[in-house]
Amino acid sequence: MTFLLHKVEGEERRILAENGFGSKTNRTESHKQVQRDEPTATTLVANTSARKICCVFCDRSHPVKDCQKLSAMNYEDRESQVRRKKCCLVCLKPGHMAKKCHSNAKCLICERRHYALLCPDLRKDTNSYSKGKVAEEEQKLTEVLLTNLPSEREIYLKTITVRLRHKEKELCVRALMDDGSHRSYMETSLAAELNLSPSGKEILSQGLFGGEITPAAEHGRFTATVEGLDRKYSTSVSLLDQQNICSTLPRIRNESLLADLASRGIKLTDVGKGTPSIRVLLGADVLGSILTGRIEVFPSGVSAVETLLRWTVLGLGRK
């Protein structure tokens, strides 16, 4: 009996041990199961971070090719920064060399295999002759765009003559109304002519046609009063200084168009044979508050737009 009692107690201890701690095989499988079922919050965070676009040069959320900090540097410094960060000279991403890059990046300037940010043709430290040459070519291109029309046709943009005032100083200047511009600008020389003092500075890049972004540049911020020639309306506006506003834009001088406008009681302020330079650009930040909503459409293809500063026209007309 004693033998049987020991046998039963031994069997009970064996069963208890197996149920309480598990066999070696069960422990291994259980361990593997824990690994499979572990919480995945860390993985989710890692995946989210991997998907977030983060520029390696300024730590902001945008693609490297759009980095303003990098674009403000000259060509040599940009290339040096890319190499120092061990980024690809083609796609600007870290982790591989240019010769192993599979990106389809293509320069908009020279059409070679890199982004425009690393185009040698856009060196910022070119001499004054090269800068003058670029400006000359841009002027020629603008003239071609403006004149490559039938000789009897002309495109009118929304130009207007206004008074620009500051205290006792006052000037009559031509202004271009451009609702495609976020901000309003004035020629840098106007600050001295009106004794304006800057209220601050802003560093801006400008998006151009084709998707190119200019290097970041510093602009002084000034406040002046824009007033209609009839002095019936005036408003205080914030203007950023710019060396040149735009190329030559002709005034309205078509007598037939002026007669059509007059028949509807519309009188323009920017008329005549001369072509003074555009010295002020009124952007969307100003236009939104001075448009009256009245538009007159003419059979010639020209439309007249009323503003609180008087009328202006746009469209394809005749010279």
pLDDT value of position 152 = 59
pLDDT at position 319: 63
Res. 186: pLDDT tops 90: yes
Could you please report the per-residue DSSP string of the chain?
-HHHHHHHHHHHHHHHHHHHH--HHHHHHHHHHHHHTS--HHHHHHHHHHHS---TTT--SS-GGG-HHHHTS-HHHHHHHHHHTTB-TTT--BTS-GGG-------TTT-SSS-GGG-GGG-TT--HHHHHHHHHHHHHHHHHHHH-S-TTEEEE--EEEEEEEETTEEEEEEEEE-TT-SS-EEETHHHHHTT---SEEEEE--B-TTS-BPPPEEEEEEEEEEE-TTSS-EEEEEEEEES---S--PPB--HHHHHHHHHTT--BSSBSS--PPEEEEE-HHHHHHHEEEEEEE-TTSEEEEEETTEEEEEEEEE-
Percent of the chain with pLDDT over 70: 73
Confidence class for position 232, pLDDT limits 50, 70, 90: very high
Asked if the model's pLDDT at residue 99 lies above 70, the reply is yes
pLDDT value for 112: 85
Q: Which pLDDT score, from 0 to 100, does residue 123 have? A: 57
Average pLDDT over residues 145-162: 72
The predicted-structure confidence for 30-78, as pLDDT tens digits, reads as follows 444 444 444 443 333 334 334 456 788 888 877 877 787 887 788 888 8
- pLDDT confidence tier of residue 122, bands split at 50, 70 and 90: low
pLDDT at 309 over 70: yes
- Quick check: pTM over 0.75? no
